């Protein structure tokens, strides 16, 4: 891995103006989809983003590949500010076109991202025609056959002549993956790319991504709501898992540390919520004080998890934790990682209305 990150997000934020209700005459609401996220993505790196629905995974992924303009902070590709390149402002060393080609996406639903009226051959020829206009038509076809064979779609000539509706969901997703790879990208955002597949096909698709990642020297940002899948992909690729909560990246690190030694109380909740990863003897109740997820238009002050966190103390209500570096690429935003923080001398948060718990049958 070279010293310069492939993509670097520095304090990135994406705030959307949310629609107000019909009879809501207040100021426009703002959804803080991504807030203060810093993250470096290297060459041949894999970062699996996990978190509850709506926590900002997709928005962060799209921001990292230059598809979503940040409302604050910066996003660099090999040291070039992506949006300066797009706007032509400042010294532009890497043209925006080059950045666009290098940062690709595959979507959750490949069916809707493939043109239903185009055969596989036409779909796969399009990026080559655009990015390698000098390539002869014979070479283009040879390249496409090679890729179809690489993802196990043989006989390739047969698949090349099919329309998307003549392919299974898994095959459609492979075509979407080839289409992205034909651009010779440095980074692919796989946005819930396996969620729509049958459970039995998900591991196959992850194995394929891992194989192609090595073969084509590509990095992946993999968005998933499933911590077990994130672990599979990140651990096989020697990558990291990033945990998001209400727009913030609250913990990031090597998969075994995130799963076996999570430092943020919310990461423990996610592990608890993943049956495959729950440890023997873990409580039947989720490790939270409150199961309700706050409104992303009005996130809690201080640490955003304090309204649900079983470890919350008064200090967590007023200040937002910085990102503590625990070494080996493991970072966490929780005061409990700072032995000297006021957190330790402040009183625990008490709820006015504690969450009802299942009565203990022994009492
Ligand atoms: N274009 C938009 N305009 C307004 N709000 C948006 C827009 N895109 C996303 N949001 C909001 O931003 C927040 C984060 O959304 P995002 O899709 O990034 O989350 P996610 O973690 O990927 O969710 P999911 O797992 O459900 O896809 C959500 O509250 C969502 O409603």
Instruction: Provide the pairing of β-strand 187-191 with 219-223.
Output: parallel
* Angstrom distance (rounded) from CA 300 to CA 287: 19
Ligand 1 atom at minimal distance to the Cα of residue 58: 22
For residue 337, being part of any structural domain is answered with: yes
For residue 42, being part of any structural domain is answered with: yes
* Angstrom distance (rounded) from CA 119 to CA 248: 41
Ligand 1 atom at minimal distance to the Cα of residue 51: 21
Span from the CA of 249 to the centroid of ligand 1 (angstroms): 15
For residue 87, being part of any structural domain is answered with: yes
Using a 10 angstrom Cβ sphere, with 0-12 exposed, 13-18 middle and 19 or more buried, the burial of residue 53 is exposed
- Number of structural domains in the chain: 1
For the chain, how long is the longest CA-to-CA vector?
79
Range of the domain at 258: 7-17+29-117+163-345
Predicted pLDDT of residue 356: 45
CA-CA-CA-CA torsion sign (181, 182, 186, 189): negative
Predicted pLDDT of residue 150: 87
Q: What is the pTM of this model?
A: 0.90
Span from the CA of 69 to the centroid of ligand 1 (angstroms): 14
For residue 129, being part of any structural domain is answered with: no
For residue 200, being part of any structural domain is answered with: yes
Is residue 106 within 8 Å of residue 185, measured between CB atoms?
no
Ramachandran quadrant class, 345 (left: phi over 0; alpha: psi -120 to 50; beta: rest): alpha
CA–centroid distance for 207 within its chain: 18
Span from the CA of 54 to the centroid of ligand 1 (angstroms): 5
* Angstrom distance (rounded) from CA 118 to CA 285: 50
Pocket around ligand 1 at a 6 A CB cut-off: 16, 18, 31, 33, 51, 53-59, 225, 296
Span from the CA of 60 to the centroid of ligand 1 (angstroms): 10
Q: Report which protein residue has its CA nearest ligand 1's atom 3.
A: 16
Please report, for the domain that includes residue 73, its CATH number: 3.40.50.300
Q: What is the DSSP letter of 276?
A: G
Predicted pLDDT of residue 164: 94
Predicted pLDDT of residue 283: 73
* Angstrom distance (rounded) from CA 163 to CA 118: 6
DSSP symbols for 64-94: HTTSS--SEEEEEETTEEHHHHHHT-S--SS
For residue 13, being part of any structural domain is answered with: yes
Span from the CA of 130 to the centroid of ligand 1 (angstroms): 31
Give the ipTM.
Answer: 0.97
Q: Which stretches of the chain score pLDDT less than 50?
A: 1, 353-363
For residue 60, being part of any structural domain is answered with: yes
Probe ligand 1: pick from 15, 19, 33, max atoms within 8 Å of CB? 33
For residue 181, being part of any structural domain is answered with: yes
Helices 227-237 and 199-216: crossing angle, nearest 10°? 30
* Angstrom distance (rounded) from CA 78 to CA 338: 32
Instruction: Provide the pairing of β-strand 187-191 with 72-77.
Output: unpaired
């Amino acid at each position: 891995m070279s010293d310069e990150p492939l993509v670097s997000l520095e304090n990135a934020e994406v705030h959307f103006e949310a629609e107000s209700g019909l009879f809501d005459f207040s100021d426009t609401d703002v959804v803080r989809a991504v807030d203060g996220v810093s993250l470096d993505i290297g060459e041949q790196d894999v970062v699996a983003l996990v978190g509850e629905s709506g926590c900002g995974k997709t928005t962060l992924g799209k921001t990292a590949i230059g598809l979503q303009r940040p409302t604050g902070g910066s996003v660099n590709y090999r040291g070039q500010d992506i949006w300066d390149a797009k706007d032509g402002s400042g010294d532009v060393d890497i043209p925006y076109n080059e950045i666009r080609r290098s940062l690709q996406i595959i979507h959750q639903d490949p069916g809707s991202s493939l043109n239903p009226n185009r055969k596989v051959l036409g779909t796969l020829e399009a990026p080559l025609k655009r990015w390698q206009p000098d390539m002869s038509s014979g070479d283009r076809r040879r390249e496409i056959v090679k890729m179809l064979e690489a993802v196990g779609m043989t006989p390739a000539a047969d698949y090349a002549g099919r329309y998307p509706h003549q392919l299974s969901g898994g095959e459609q997703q492979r075509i979407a993956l080839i289409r992205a790879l034909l651009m010779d990208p440095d980074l692919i955002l796989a946005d819930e790319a396996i969620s729509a597949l049958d459970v039995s096909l998900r591991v196959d698709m992850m194995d394929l991504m891992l194989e192609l990642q090595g073969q084509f020297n590509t990095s992946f940002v993999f968005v998933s709501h499933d911590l077990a899948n994130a672990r599979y992909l990140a651990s096989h690729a020697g990558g990291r898992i990033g945990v998001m909560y209400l727009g913030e990246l609250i913990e990031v690190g090597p998969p075994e540390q995130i799963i076996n030694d999570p430092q943020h109380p919310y990461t423990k909740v996610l592990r608890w919520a993943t049956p495959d990863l729950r440890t023997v003897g873990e409580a039947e109740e989720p490790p939270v004080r409150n199961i309700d997820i706050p409104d992303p238009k009005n996130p809690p002050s201080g640490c955003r998890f304090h309204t649900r966190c079983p470890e919350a103390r008064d200090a967590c209500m007023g200040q937002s934790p910085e990102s503590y570096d625990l070494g080996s690429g493991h970072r966490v935003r929780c005061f409990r990682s700072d032995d000297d923080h006021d957190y330790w001398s402040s009183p625990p948060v008490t709820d006015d209305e504690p969450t009802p718990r299942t009565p203990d049958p022994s009492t």
